[in-house]
Chain A
Protein backbone atom coordinates (compact mmCIF):
# COMPACT_ATOMS: atom_id res chain seq x y z
CA UNK A 1 0.00 0.00 0.00
CA UNK A 2 1.39 3.37 -0.99
CA UNK A 3 -1.04 5.66 0.72
CA UNK A 4 0.27 9.05 -0.47
CA UNK A 5 -0.72 8.20 -4.05
CA UNK A 6 -3.99 9.81 -5.00
CA UNK A 7 -4.03 9.64 -8.74
CA UNK A 8 -2.50 7.98 -11.76
CA UNK A 9 -2.68 9.95 -14.98
CA UNK A 10 -2.47 8.01 -18.20
CA UNK A 11 -1.33 10.46 -20.88
CA UNK A 12 -2.04 9.69 -24.51
CA UNK A 13 0.81 11.83 -25.86
CA UNK A 14 4.21 13.10 -24.78
CA UNK A 15 2.80 16.63 -24.77
CA UNK A 16 0.19 15.60 -22.24
CA UNK A 17 2.76 13.67 -20.17
CA UNK A 18 5.01 16.74 -19.95
CA UNK A 19 1.99 18.84 -18.91
CA UNK A 20 1.17 16.35 -16.16
CA UNK A 21 4.82 16.39 -15.09
CA UNK A 22 4.57 20.09 -14.30
CA UNK A 23 1.99 19.31 -11.58
CA UNK A 24 3.58 19.33 -8.17
CA UNK A 25 4.30 16.05 -6.40
CA UNK A 26 4.26 14.10 -9.69
CA UNK A 27 6.53 11.33 -10.85
CA UNK A 28 6.80 9.23 -14.01
CA UNK A 29 5.75 5.60 -13.76
CA UNK A 30 7.31 3.25 -16.31
CA UNK A 31 8.13 -0.26 -15.17
CA UNK A 32 7.62 0.87 -11.58
CA UNK A 33 10.23 -1.34 -9.96
CA UNK A 34 12.12 1.56 -8.41
CA UNK A 35 9.35 4.02 -7.75
CA UNK A 36 6.85 1.55 -6.34
CA UNK A 37 9.52 -0.14 -4.23
CA UNK A 38 10.67 3.18 -2.76
CA UNK A 39 7.14 4.49 -2.03
CA UNK A 40 8.24 8.10 -1.50
CA UNK A 41 5.54 9.75 0.53
CA UNK A 42 6.01 13.13 -1.19
CA UNK A 43 4.65 11.69 -4.44
CA UNK A 44 0.91 12.05 -4.94
CA UNK A 45 0.45 11.78 -8.71
CA UNK A 46 1.90 9.14 -10.94
CA UNK A 47 2.10 9.58 -14.70
CA UNK A 48 1.88 6.18 -16.34
CA UNK A 49 3.96 6.59 -19.50
CA UNK A 50 3.93 2.91 -20.41
CA UNK A 51 1.28 3.46 -23.11
CA UNK A 52 3.22 6.20 -24.96
CA UNK A 53 6.86 5.17 -24.70
CA UNK A 54 8.30 3.00 -27.46
CA UNK A 55 8.62 -0.67 -26.55
CA UNK A 56 10.17 -2.14 -29.68
CA UNK A 57 13.69 -3.46 -30.16
CA UNK A 58 15.09 -3.12 -33.65
CA UNK A 59 18.45 -4.32 -34.89
CA UNK A 60 19.73 -2.56 -38.01
CA UNK A 61 23.00 -2.96 -39.88
CA UNK A 62 24.94 -0.64 -37.61
CA UNK A 63 22.75 0.02 -34.60
CA UNK A 64 20.38 -1.36 -32.01
CA UNK A 65 17.35 0.81 -31.37
CA UNK A 66 15.73 -0.01 -28.05
CA UNK A 67 12.40 1.49 -27.05
CA UNK A 68 12.76 2.98 -23.58
CA UNK A 69 9.66 1.07 -22.47
CA UNK A 70 11.24 -2.29 -23.37
CA UNK A 71 11.81 -4.37 -20.31
CA UNK A 72 15.35 -5.38 -19.59
CA UNK A 73 14.20 -9.01 -19.92
CA UNK A 74 13.08 -8.14 -23.48
CA UNK A 75 16.69 -7.11 -24.10
CA UNK A 76 17.95 -10.49 -22.87
CA UNK A 77 15.42 -12.27 -25.09
CA UNK A 78 16.11 -10.26 -28.23
CA UNK A 79 19.77 -9.26 -28.10
CA UNK A 80 21.40 -12.68 -27.80
CA UNK A 81 23.84 -11.72 -30.61
CA UNK A 82 25.28 -9.08 -28.29
CA UNK A 83 26.43 -11.08 -25.26
CA UNK A 84 28.07 -8.21 -23.40
CA UNK A 85 24.92 -6.15 -23.27
CA UNK A 86 22.92 -9.22 -22.21
CA UNK A 87 25.45 -9.92 -19.47
CA UNK A 88 25.34 -6.31 -18.26
CA UNK A 89 21.55 -6.40 -18.14
CA UNK A 90 21.41 -9.72 -16.34
CA UNK A 91 23.89 -8.69 -13.68
CA UNK A 92 22.26 -5.32 -13.12
CA UNK A 93 19.16 -7.14 -11.94
CA UNK A 94 19.36 -10.82 -11.11
CA UNK A 95 15.62 -11.29 -10.50
CA UNK A 96 13.71 -12.38 -13.60
CA UNK A 97 10.48 -11.11 -12.05
CA UNK A 98 11.90 -7.61 -11.79
CA UNK A 99 13.55 -7.82 -15.21
CA UNK A 100 10.09 -8.56 -16.64
CA UNK A 101 8.91 -5.21 -15.25
CA UNK A 102 11.93 -2.89 -15.24
CA UNK A 103 12.23 -0.74 -18.35
CA UNK A 104 15.53 0.32 -19.87
CA UNK A 105 14.38 3.94 -19.88
CA UNK A 106 13.75 3.75 -16.14
CA UNK A 107 17.11 2.13 -15.53
CA UNK A 108 18.82 5.02 -17.34
CA UNK A 109 16.69 7.68 -15.66
CA UNK A 110 17.61 6.28 -12.24
CA UNK A 111 21.33 6.84 -13.00
CA UNK A 112 22.12 4.15 -10.45
CA UNK A 113 25.89 3.84 -10.15
CA UNK A 114 25.67 0.25 -8.97
CA UNK A 115 23.98 -0.82 -12.20
CA UNK A 116 26.11 -2.76 -14.68
CA UNK A 117 23.92 -1.81 -17.64
CA UNK A 118 23.93 1.88 -16.73
CA UNK A 119 27.73 1.88 -16.29
CA UNK A 120 28.18 0.05 -19.57
CA UNK A 121 25.82 2.41 -21.39
CA UNK A 122 27.64 5.47 -20.03
CA UNK A 123 30.82 3.97 -21.44
CA UNK A 124 29.38 3.32 -24.90
CA UNK A 125 27.44 6.59 -24.72
CA UNK A 126 24.40 5.81 -26.89
CA UNK A 127 22.10 8.42 -28.39
CA UNK A 128 18.88 9.01 -26.45
CA UNK A 129 15.75 10.16 -28.22
CA UNK A 130 14.24 12.55 -25.69
CA UNK A 131 10.69 13.89 -25.90
CA UNK A 132 10.13 17.30 -24.33
CA UNK A 133 7.53 16.92 -26.08
CA UNK A 134 9.59 17.84 -29.15
CA UNK A 135 11.94 15.15 -30.32
CA UNK A 136 15.65 15.66 -29.80
CA UNK A 137 18.59 13.29 -29.96
CA UNK A 138 21.30 13.66 -27.40
CA UNK A 139 24.15 11.48 -26.14
CA UNK A 140 23.53 9.83 -22.77
CA UNK A 141 26.40 11.64 -21.06
CA UNK A 142 24.95 14.99 -22.11
CA UNK A 143 21.41 14.30 -20.95
CA UNK A 144 20.39 16.57 -18.06
CA UNK A 145 17.57 14.29 -16.93
CA UNK A 146 14.81 16.50 -18.35
CA UNK A 147 12.12 15.17 -20.67
CA UNK A 148 11.12 11.56 -21.30
CA UNK A 149 13.44 9.00 -22.90
CA UNK A 150 11.69 7.34 -25.83
CA UNK A 151 14.48 5.42 -27.58
CA UNK A 152 18.06 4.39 -26.98
CA UNK A 153 20.20 4.09 -30.10
CA UNK A 154 23.37 2.07 -29.64
CA UNK A 155 26.10 1.95 -32.24
CA UNK A 156 26.94 -1.76 -32.66
CA UNK A 157 30.60 -0.95 -33.35
CA UNK A 158 30.86 0.33 -29.78
CA UNK A 159 29.58 -3.03 -28.56
CA UNK A 160 32.30 -4.84 -30.48
CA UNK A 161 35.06 -2.61 -29.16
CA UNK A 162 34.06 -2.55 -25.52
CA UNK A 163 34.40 -4.66 -22.42
CA UNK A 164 33.22 -4.63 -18.86
CA UNK A 165 34.14 -6.40 -15.68
CA UNK A 166 32.34 -6.66 -12.38
CA UNK A 167 33.37 -7.68 -8.90
CA UNK A 168 30.75 -8.97 -6.48
CA UNK A 169 30.66 -11.30 -3.50
CA UNK A 170 28.43 -13.69 -5.45
CA UNK A 171 27.41 -13.73 -9.13
CA UNK A 172 23.84 -12.86 -8.10
CA UNK A 173 24.87 -10.13 -5.65
CA UNK A 174 25.13 -6.47 -6.65
CA UNK A 175 28.64 -5.59 -7.85
CA UNK A 176 30.71 -3.38 -5.58
CA UNK A 177 33.04 -2.51 -8.45
CA UNK A 178 32.29 -2.24 -12.15
CA UNK A 179 34.74 -1.31 -14.90
CA UNK A 180 33.72 -0.57 -18.50
CA UNK A 181 36.10 0.32 -21.32
CA UNK A 182 35.35 1.34 -24.90
CA UNK A 183 37.96 1.74 -27.63
CA UNK A 184 37.09 4.32 -30.25
CA UNK A 185 39.04 5.37 -33.35
CA UNK A 186 41.32 7.77 -31.50
CA UNK A 187 40.66 7.23 -27.82
CA UNK A 188 39.79 4.94 -24.95
CA UNK A 189 36.83 5.66 -22.67
CA UNK A 190 36.90 4.38 -19.11
CA UNK A 191 33.93 4.28 -16.74
CA UNK A 192 34.31 2.94 -13.21
CA UNK A 193 31.47 2.56 -10.73
CA UNK A 194 29.91 0.16 -8.25
CA UNK A 195 29.35 0.87 -4.59
CA UNK A 196 30.84 4.29 -5.17
CA UNK A 197 29.98 7.90 -4.35
CA UNK A 198 29.49 8.57 -8.03
CA UNK A 199 30.43 7.26 -11.40
CA UNK A 200 33.98 7.95 -12.58
CA UNK A 201 34.65 8.59 -16.28
CA UNK A 202 37.78 9.45 -18.23
CA UNK A 203 38.84 9.55 -21.86
CA UNK A 204 42.42 9.04 -22.95
CA UNK A 205 43.77 9.48 -26.47
CA UNK A 206 45.11 6.18 -27.76
CA UNK A 207 48.41 7.87 -28.59
CA UNK A 208 48.77 9.03 -24.97
CA UNK A 209 47.84 5.74 -23.37
CA UNK A 210 50.63 4.54 -21.12
CA UNK A 211 51.26 2.89 -17.75
CA UNK A 212 51.24 6.35 -16.20
CA UNK A 213 47.85 7.28 -17.65
CA UNK A 214 46.45 3.99 -16.40
CA UNK A 215 47.90 4.69 -12.96
CA UNK A 216 46.26 8.12 -13.02
CA UNK A 217 42.84 6.56 -13.78
CA UNK A 218 43.25 4.04 -10.97
CA UNK A 219 44.35 6.66 -8.45
CA UNK A 220 41.59 9.08 -9.40
CA UNK A 221 38.78 6.54 -9.56
CA UNK A 222 39.60 4.82 -6.27
CA UNK A 223 38.83 8.14 -4.51
CA UNK A 224 35.16 7.50 -5.36
CA UNK A 225 35.19 4.40 -3.17
CA UNK A 226 35.49 3.83 0.55
CA UNK A 227 37.07 1.34 2.88
CA UNK A 228 34.10 -0.88 3.69
CA UNK A 229 32.96 -4.44 4.16
CA UNK A 230 33.84 -5.20 0.54
CA UNK A 231 37.50 -4.39 1.09
CA UNK A 232 40.14 -1.75 1.61
CA UNK A 233 40.95 0.98 -0.89
CA UNK A 234 44.23 -0.80 -1.61
CA UNK A 235 42.29 -3.93 -2.53
CA UNK A 236 39.87 -1.92 -4.69
CA UNK A 237 42.79 -0.25 -6.45
CA UNK A 238 44.09 -3.68 -7.41
CA UNK A 239 40.60 -4.72 -8.56
CA UNK A 240 40.27 -1.60 -10.74
CA UNK A 241 43.60 -2.44 -12.36
CA UNK A 242 42.57 -6.07 -12.88
CA UNK A 243 39.18 -4.97 -14.19
CA UNK A 244 40.71 -2.59 -16.70
CA UNK A 245 43.18 -5.23 -17.86
CA UNK A 246 40.44 -7.84 -18.32
CA UNK A 247 38.08 -5.39 -20.03
CA UNK A 248 40.82 -4.21 -22.39
CA UNK A 249 41.67 -7.84 -23.21
CA UNK A 250 38.08 -8.33 -24.43
CA UNK A 251 38.36 -5.47 -26.91
Chain B
Protein backbone atom coordinates (compact mmCIF):
# COMPACT_ATOMS: atom_id res chain seq x y z
CA UNK B 1 0.00 0.00 0.00
CA UNK B 2 1.43 3.39 -0.97
CA UNK B 3 0.67 6.04 1.64
CA UNK B 4 1.59 9.71 1.72
CA UNK B 5 1.85 11.51 5.07
CA UNK B 6 -1.43 10.89 6.88
CA UNK B 7 -3.85 10.45 4.01
CA UNK B 8 -7.47 9.93 4.96
CA UNK B 9 -8.51 6.30 4.74
CA UNK B 10 -11.83 5.57 3.06
CA UNK B 11 -13.83 2.39 3.15
CA UNK B 12 -15.20 1.55 -0.27
CA UNK B 13 -17.55 -1.13 -1.49
CA UNK B 14 -17.76 -1.90 -5.17
CA UNK B 15 -18.39 -4.77 -7.53
CA UNK B 16 -15.48 -5.83 -9.69
CA UNK B 17 -16.16 -8.50 -12.31
CA UNK B 18 -19.28 -9.54 -10.38
CA UNK B 19 -17.39 -9.91 -7.08
CA UNK B 20 -18.34 -7.63 -4.20
CA UNK B 21 -15.21 -5.99 -2.79
CA UNK B 22 -15.00 -4.06 0.48
CA UNK B 23 -11.71 -2.44 1.27
CA UNK B 24 -10.09 0.48 3.07
CA UNK B 25 -7.94 2.64 0.85
CA UNK B 26 -6.07 5.94 1.01
CA UNK B 27 -7.58 8.96 -0.70
CA UNK B 28 -5.03 9.34 -3.44
CA UNK B 29 -5.27 5.79 -4.74
CA UNK B 30 -6.46 5.76 -8.34
CA UNK B 31 -8.82 3.08 -9.56
CA UNK B 32 -6.02 1.78 -11.79
CA UNK B 33 -3.68 1.31 -8.81
CA UNK B 34 -6.48 -0.26 -6.80
CA UNK B 35 -7.22 -2.81 -9.50
CA UNK B 36 -3.60 -3.63 -10.24
CA UNK B 37 -1.98 -3.44 -6.80
CA UNK B 38 -4.78 -4.30 -4.41
CA UNK B 39 -6.85 -6.77 -6.47
CA UNK B 40 -4.01 -8.07 -8.63
CA UNK B 41 -6.04 -7.43 -11.79
CA UNK B 42 -3.19 -6.38 -14.04
CA UNK B 43 -5.06 -6.40 -17.35
CA UNK B 44 -5.54 -2.62 -17.22
CA UNK B 45 -2.19 -1.06 -18.09
CA UNK B 46 -0.60 2.20 -17.09
CA UNK B 47 0.96 3.92 -20.07
CA UNK B 48 0.42 7.66 -20.31
CA UNK B 49 -1.17 8.16 -16.85
CA UNK B 50 -3.08 11.18 -18.14
CA UNK B 51 -6.02 9.74 -20.02
CA UNK B 52 -4.64 10.03 -23.51
CA UNK B 53 -4.00 6.40 -24.46
CA UNK B 54 -6.83 4.26 -23.09
CA UNK B 55 -4.56 1.35 -22.07
CA UNK B 56 -6.12 1.53 -18.59
CA UNK B 57 -9.72 1.38 -19.88
CA UNK B 58 -12.30 -0.31 -17.68
CA UNK B 59 -16.08 -0.33 -17.83
CA UNK B 60 -17.58 1.61 -14.94
CA UNK B 61 -21.36 1.48 -14.59
CA UNK B 62 -21.78 0.70 -18.29
CA UNK B 63 -19.39 3.36 -19.56
CA UNK B 64 -15.78 3.05 -20.66
CA UNK B 65 -13.47 5.22 -18.58
CA UNK B 66 -9.75 5.67 -18.10
CA UNK B 67 -9.04 4.17 -14.70
CA UNK B 68 -5.92 6.35 -14.40
CA UNK B 69 -8.21 9.39 -14.12
CA UNK B 70 -10.60 7.95 -11.54
CA UNK B 71 -9.89 7.85 -7.83
CA UNK B 72 -10.78 4.54 -6.24
CA UNK B 73 -13.02 6.40 -3.78
CA UNK B 74 -15.00 7.72 -6.75
CA UNK B 75 -15.75 4.12 -7.71
CA UNK B 76 -17.46 3.48 -4.38
CA UNK B 77 -20.80 1.79 -5.11
CA UNK B 78 -19.91 1.24 -8.77
CA UNK B 79 -19.85 -1.82 -10.92
CA UNK B 80 -16.50 -2.30 -12.63
CA UNK B 81 -15.61 -4.69 -15.41
CA UNK B 82 -11.97 -5.25 -16.27
CA UNK B 83 -10.54 -7.43 -19.03
CA UNK B 84 -10.37 -10.29 -16.50
CA UNK B 85 -14.17 -10.17 -16.39
CA UNK B 86 -14.55 -10.71 -20.14
CA UNK B 87 -14.71 -14.30 -21.40
CA UNK B 88 -13.22 -17.18 -19.49
CA UNK B 89 -9.81 -18.79 -19.57
CA UNK B 90 -11.35 -21.83 -21.22
CA UNK B 91 -13.60 -19.85 -23.57
CA UNK B 92 -12.92 -16.47 -25.09
CA UNK B 93 -15.72 -13.98 -25.69
CA UNK B 94 -16.96 -13.56 -29.26
CA UNK B 95 -15.02 -10.33 -29.59
CA UNK B 96 -11.84 -11.87 -28.23
CA UNK B 97 -12.24 -14.73 -30.75
CA UNK B 98 -12.79 -12.16 -33.51
CA UNK B 99 -9.55 -10.40 -32.52
CA UNK B 100 -7.71 -13.73 -32.83
CA UNK B 101 -9.40 -14.62 -36.13
CA UNK B 102 -8.61 -11.23 -37.66
CA UNK B 103 -5.02 -11.10 -36.42
CA UNK B 104 -5.86 -7.85 -34.62
CA UNK B 105 -3.16 -8.14 -31.99
CA UNK B 106 0.49 -7.24 -32.40
CA UNK B 107 2.31 -6.12 -29.25
CA UNK B 108 -0.95 -6.51 -27.33
CA UNK B 109 -0.49 -3.71 -24.84
CA UNK B 110 -3.58 -1.76 -25.95
CA UNK B 111 -5.73 -4.86 -26.43
CA UNK B 112 -7.38 -5.08 -22.96
CA UNK B 113 -8.62 -1.51 -23.44
CA UNK B 114 -9.60 -2.14 -27.04
CA UNK B 115 -11.57 -5.27 -26.09
CA UNK B 116 -13.42 -3.43 -23.31
CA UNK B 117 -14.22 -0.46 -25.56
CA UNK B 118 -15.40 -2.93 -28.22
CA UNK B 119 -17.48 -5.00 -25.78
CA UNK B 120 -19.26 -1.90 -24.49
CA UNK B 121 -19.83 -0.63 -28.01
CA UNK B 122 -21.35 -3.96 -29.04
CA UNK B 123 -23.62 -3.83 -26.01
CA UNK B 124 -24.73 -0.24 -26.67
CA UNK B 125 -24.92 -0.52 -30.44
CA UNK B 126 -24.76 -4.12 -31.76
CA UNK B 127 -25.16 -2.99 -35.37
CA UNK B 128 -22.61 -0.16 -35.22
CA UNK B 129 -21.30 1.12 -38.54
CA UNK B 130 -17.59 1.39 -39.29
CA UNK B 131 -17.70 5.09 -38.38
CA UNK B 132 -19.42 4.28 -35.08
CA UNK B 133 -16.81 1.62 -34.34
CA UNK B 134 -14.08 4.21 -34.92
CA UNK B 135 -15.88 6.55 -32.54
CA UNK B 136 -16.31 3.73 -30.01
CA UNK B 137 -12.57 3.05 -29.85
CA UNK B 138 -11.58 6.72 -30.24
CA UNK B 139 -10.09 6.81 -26.75
CA UNK B 140 -7.82 3.83 -27.31
CA UNK B 141 -4.49 4.29 -29.03
CA UNK B 142 -2.71 1.45 -30.81
CA UNK B 143 0.75 2.13 -32.19
CA UNK B 144 1.18 -1.21 -33.97
CA UNK B 145 -1.79 -2.27 -36.02
CA UNK B 146 -2.96 0.89 -37.77
CA UNK B 147 -6.40 -0.04 -36.38
CA UNK B 148 -7.60 -1.75 -39.57
CA UNK B 149 -7.55 -5.27 -38.17
CA UNK B 150 -9.09 -4.12 -34.89
CA UNK B 151 -11.94 -2.43 -36.73
CA UNK B 152 -12.31 -5.56 -38.92
CA UNK B 153 -12.69 -7.70 -35.79
CA UNK B 154 -15.40 -5.52 -34.22
CA UNK B 155 -17.02 -5.07 -37.61
CA UNK B 156 -17.27 -8.85 -38.15
CA UNK B 157 -19.62 -9.04 -35.15
CA UNK B 158 -21.70 -5.98 -36.03
CA UNK B 159 -22.11 -7.27 -39.60
CA UNK B 160 -23.17 -10.64 -38.21
CA UNK B 161 -25.81 -8.92 -36.06
CA UNK B 162 -26.95 -6.78 -38.99
CA UNK B 163 -27.35 -9.93 -41.14
CA UNK B 164 -29.20 -11.72 -38.36
CA UNK B 165 -31.57 -8.77 -37.94
CA UNK B 166 -32.23 -8.68 -41.68
CA UNK B 167 -32.99 -12.42 -41.72
CA UNK B 168 -35.46 -11.95 -38.85
CA UNK B 169 -37.43 -9.36 -40.87
Does B102 make an interface contact (CB < 8 A)? no
Does B7 make an interface contact (CB < 8 A)? yes
Q: Which listed segment binds A: B46-54, B79-87, B149-157, B159-167?
A: B46-54
List, in ascending order, chain B residues with CB within 8 A of A48's CB: 73-74
Query: Is the pair B138, A95 in contact by a Cβ cutoff of 8 Å?
Result: yes
Query: Is the pair A37, B6 in contact by a Cβ cutoff of 8 Å?
Result: no
CA distance A96 to B54 in the complex (A): 10
Query: Is the pair B69, A3 in contact by a Cβ cutoff of 8 Å?
Result: no
Query: Is the pair B10, A32 in contact by a Cβ cutoff of 8 Å?
Result: no
Does A84 make an interface contact (CB < 8 A)? no
CB < 8 Å: which of B4, B7, B70 contacts A32?
B70
Known: A95-B51, A95-B139, A100-B64. A37 touches B74 (CB 8 A): no
List, in ascending order, chain B residues with CB within 8 A of A96's CB: 64, 117, 135-139
CA distance A73 to B136 in the complex (A): 11
Chain B's closest residue to A71 (CB) is B63
Q: How many cross-chain pairs have Cβ atoms below 8 Å apart between A and B?
A: 93
Does B22 make an interface contact (CB < 8 A)? no
Query: Is the pair B140, A97 in contact by a Cβ cutoff of 8 Å?
Result: yes
CA distance A46 to B50 in the complex (A): 18
Does A7 make an interface contact (CB < 8 A)? yes
List, in ascending order, chain B residues with CB within 8 A of A98's CB: 51, 66, 69, 139
On chain A, the number of residues with a Cβ less than 8 Å from chain B's Cβ atoms is 27
CB < 8 Å: which of A29, A37, A46 contacts B51?
A37
Chain A's closest residue to B60 (CB) is A100
CA distance A172 to B147 in the complex (A): 14
> What is the interface of chain B mostly: helix, strand, loop, or mixed?
loop
List, in ascending order, chain A residues with CB within 8 A of B74's CB: 32, 48, 50
Query: Is the pair B54, A95 in contact by a Cβ cutoff of 8 Å?
Result: yes
Q: Which listed segment binds A: B13-21, B26-34, B88-96, B103-111?
A: B26-34
Which B54-76 residues sit within 8 Å CB-CB of chain A? 54, 57, 63-66, 68-71, 73-74
CB < 8 Å: which of B7, B50, B51 contacts A6?
B7
Does B2 make an interface contact (CB < 8 A)? yes
Minimal beta-carbon separation of A26 from chain B (angstroms): 13
Chain B: residues with CB nearer than 8 A to chain A?
A: 2, 4-8, 10, 27-30, 33, 49-52, 54, 57, 63-66, 68-71, 73-74, 117, 135-140
- Interface CB pairs A-B, < 8 A, 18: A3-B28, A4-B28, A5-B7, A29-B71, A32-B69, A33-B69, A36-B69, A46-B27, A48-B73, A95-B52, A95-B139, A96-B135, A97-B51, A97-B139, A100-B64, A100-B65, A101-B65, A101-B70
For the complex with contacts A4-B4, A101-B70, 16 further pairs of A-B residues with Cβ separation under 8 Å are: A1-B30, A1-B33, A2-B30, A3-B4, A3-B28, A4-B28, A6-B5, A32-B70, A36-B68, A48-B73, A50-B74, A94-B139, A95-B54, A96-B137, A96-B138, A97-B57
